[in-house]
Amino acid sequence: MYFRKFFKFQVLKPLDVKTKFYNAETDEVFLEAQIQNITTSPMFMEKVSLEPSIMYNVTELNSVSQAGECVSTFRSRAYLQPMDTRQYLYCLKPKKEFAEKAGIIKGVTVIGKLDIVWKTNLGERGRLQTSQLQRMAPGYGDVRLSLEAIPDTVNLEEPFHITCKITNCSSERTMDLVLEMCNTNSIHWCGISGRQLGKLHPSSSLCLALTLLSSVQGLQSVSGLRLTDTFLKRTYEYDDIAQVCVVSSAIKVES
């Protein structure tokens, strides 16, 4: 004689994982992972890593360089006490073959997954692997303007150079672009406004070197660029592209 009996065991979740995404002006994506120990005992964090998807390369930002050696930002505090939270930061950058094609990184994209390994106070090992993390890629419309190079600090009333990258985000339409440069109260563009940039094919880009100067000290915003598509007679306005610190020419700017 025998009978079957089912026993129900309650399994408590040991970790609470929250993620946040931050989109940079470039194609870089910063992932912040907040890991909280929600058990009643401390745990030893053996490994927390991000396995990126095929589209991205990842750089861990959880260590600093000291005397030529990589030291963890958490120092020797590898233990996570009950209800304590630890933050991990990662930088993801699209691989070259994907970054060059503007139409690929649109909409919802898969970033990768977190792999977390820990040990309890009795030496038992646990592992948690999240599902694929996804983020909504920012929409740039038909034309995207991004900065490839800009100085951090410039001298007052002295010309400085920036490099812009213009990308046709359309997957099927060629654009014929005209660049206009409009001065603001503090930023003055040098060069000819209204010049033809020529035809820009779908998902292609061009780099453009521009010169400007500032007549006001302090933190100034670079604004006043206008791109007009002559085919559709549509104008795209770009303000607050970046910020530069303008100092008096009597102060030497360290390069």
User: Each residue of 30-59: pLDDT tens digit?
Assistant: 999 999 999 888 998 888 999 998 888 999
What integer pLDDT is reported at residue 105 of this predicted model? 60
- Is residue 11 classed as helix, strand or coil in its secondary structure? coil
Cα-based angle 143, 144, 147 (whole degrees, multiple of 5): 150
H helices, E strands: number in the chain = 1, 22
Asked whether residue 154 carries a pLDDT value surpassing 60, the answer given is: yes
CB crowding 10-21: b at 16 or more within 10 Å, else e: eeeebbeeebee
Quote the mean pLDDT of the chain: 85
**pLDDT tens column, 10-27:** 777 889 999 998 877 667
The dotted CATH code for 15-136 is 2.60.40.1230
Cα→Cα distances 125→37, 41, 63, 121, 159, Å: 14, 14, 24, 10, 60
* Domain edges within the chain: 15-136, 143-247
More confident residue, 86 or 3: 86
Mean pLDDT of 137-164: 86
Q: Which of 88-92, 207-211, 245-249 has the lowest mean pLDDT?
A: 245-249
Mean pLDDT of 159-179: 88
Fold designation for 143-247: Immunoglobulin-like (2.60.40)
For 57, the token pair is 């390369």
More confident residue, 138 or 85: 85
Topology match between the domains 15-136 and 143-247: yes
